[in-house]
Amino acid sequence: TRAFVPEFGMPSASRYVPLVLFSNVTWKELSRKAWDITEPPMKITDPEIPKMVKSLVETCKSEMDSIKAIAIWASQDVRYVGLSLGDKEGITPHDVNETFAARSGVCKDKAALAVAMFREAGFDAYNVLTNPMGYIIYDVAVNQFNHQITMVRTRNGKEHFFDTTVDLADTLPGYYSRKGYLVLSKEGEDLKYFPLIGPEINNGNIIADSKIDDAGNLTSTVVITGSGIYDMVIRQIQQVLEKEDRERFFRRMINQIDPSAKLVDLKFEPDSPTDLFKPAKITVKYEIPDFAIDAGDYLLLSAPCAQHIFDILSSSLSEYTKLDDRKYPLEIQFTIGSDITETIQLPADYKPKSIPNNVNINNKYFKYSMDYGIRGKTVTYKSSLKLPDIDVPLKDYTEFRKSYTNYKNSEKGMLFLNR
Q: Rounded to an integer, what distance in angstroms lies between the CA atom of residue 343 and that of residue 378?
A: 7
Q: Are residues 236 and 315 in the same domain?
A: yes
> Mean pLDDT throughout 287-304?
91
State residue 159 phi and psi, 5-degree precision: -95, 140
In a domain, 331, yes or no: yes
CB 365 within 8 A of CB 396: yes
Residues contacting 389, CB < 8 A, separation 6+ = 196, 332, 335, 364, 365
Q: Are residues 216 and 142 in the same domain?
A: no
At which of 174, 193, 212 does a domain end? 193
CB 129 within 8 A of CB 91: yes
The pLDDT value recorded for residue 82 is 66
Closest residue by Cα to residue 305 from 218, 238, 387, 226: 218
Q: Are residues 289 and 387 in the same domain?
A: yes
- Is the preceding omega at residue 259 within 30 degrees of 0, hence cis? no
Burial bucket for residue 322 (CB in 10 Å: 0-12, 13-18, 19+): exposed
The pLDDT value recorded for residue 14 is 84
CB 338 within 8 A of CB 206: yes
In a domain, 54, yes or no: yes
> Mean pLDDT throughout 325-352?
94
Q: Domain with 347 in it: what CATH number? A: 2.60.120.1130
In a domain, 8, yes or no: no
Which residues constitute the domain of residue 175?
13-193
In a domain, 4, yes or no: no
Q: Give the pLDDT band (50/70/90) at residue 294.
A: confident
Q: Are residues 139 and 281 in the same domain?
A: no
Q: Are residues 216 and 117 in the same domain?
A: no
Residue 238 has pLDDT above 90, yes or no: yes
Closest residue by Cα to residue 384 from 365, 366, 405: 366
The pLDDT value recorded for residue 271 is 97
In a domain, 2, yes or no: no
Residue 88 has pLDDT above 50, yes or no: no
Q: Rounded to an integer, what distance in angstroms lies between the CA atom of residue 368 and that of residue 358?
A: 11
Q: Are residues 262 and 139 in the same domain?
A: no
Q: Rounded to an integer, what distance in angstroms lies between the CA atom of residue 261 and that of residue 281?
A: 22
Residue 250 has pLDDT above 60, yes or no: yes
Q: Are residues 383 and 405 in the same domain?
A: yes
> Mean pLDDT throughout 126-132?
97
Residue 86 has pLDDT above 60, yes or no: no
At which of 134, 160, 193 does a domain end? 193
Write the pLDDT tens digit of every residue in 9-61: 999 988 888 888 999 999 999 999 999 999 999 999 999 999 999 999 999 99
Q: Domain with 142 in it: what CATH number? A: 3.10.620.30
Give the β-pairing of 104-105 and 79-80.
Answer: parallel
> Mean pLDDT throughout 339-350?
94
The pLDDT value recorded for residue 3 is 78
Give the β-pairing of 367-375 and 359-362.
Answer: antiparallel
Q: Give the chain's domain count.
A: 2
- Average predicted confidence (pLDDT) for the chain: 95
In a domain, 122, yes or no: yes
Q: Are residues 110 and 247 in the same domain?
A: no
Q: Are residues 351 and 405 in the same domain?
A: yes
In a domain, 387, yes or no: yes
In a domain, 63, yes or no: yes
At which of 170, 193, 216 does a domain end? 193
- To the nearest whole percent, how much of the chain has pLDDT over 70? 98
Q: Are residues 124 and 238 in the same domain?
A: no
Helices H / strands E in the chain, number of each: 9, 21
The pLDDT value recorded for residue 28 is 98
The pLDDT value recorded for residue 419 is 80
Residue 355 has pLDDT above 70, yes or no: yes
| End-to-end CA separation in angstroms for the chain | 70
Q: Are residues 138 and 231 in the same domain?
A: no
The pLDDT value recorded for residue 1 is 53
Which amino acid would we find at residue 373? G
Q: Are residues 167 and 216 in the same domain?
A: no
Q: Give the pLDDT band (50/70/90) at residue 87.
A: very low
Q: Rounded to an integer, what distance in angstroms lies between the CA atom of residue 354 and that of residue 372?
A: 11
